[in-house]
Amino acid sequence: MNSQLQELHQEIKLLKTLGTRQGFFQHYFEMLPRQRTQIECFNNVNDKHFELFGEYRYESYDSFRNQVAHYHKNKK
């Protein structure tokens, strides 16, 4: 039971994280070192978003890259 509760807490935390654009970026960059390519990482995170929310956050890797560039540009 304790491990199920822990898993539920982790899923809730991930829901809160992936529910925002900044959280999606953060999770992507946290997962990036564990993936072979940037595209593979993006697909895994975007698929997880689909699994949790029933829709993809980004249509494609290119649209994601454009949003990341825009985010970094406005952050300066």
> 39-61: per-residue pLDDT in tens?
999 999 999 999 999 999 999 99
Residue type, position 5, single letter: L
CA–CA gap between residue 28 and residue 35 (Å, rounded): 10
pLDDT at residue 63, rounded to an integer: 96
More confident residue, 71 or 41: 41
**Predicted model pTM:** 0.86
Percentage, residues of the chain above pLDDT 90: 83
CA–CA gap between residue 42 and residue 25 (Å, rounded): 9
Position 30 pLDDT exceeds 70: yes
Burial of 56 by CB count in 10 Å (0-12 exposed, 13-18 middle, 19+ buried)?
middle
Instruction: Give the number of domains in the chain.
Output: 1
pLDDT at residue 76, rounded to an integer: 64
Show the tokens assigned to 19: 């529910």
Domain range spanning residue 23? 2-75
- Reduce the DSSP state of residue 55 to 3 states and report it: coil
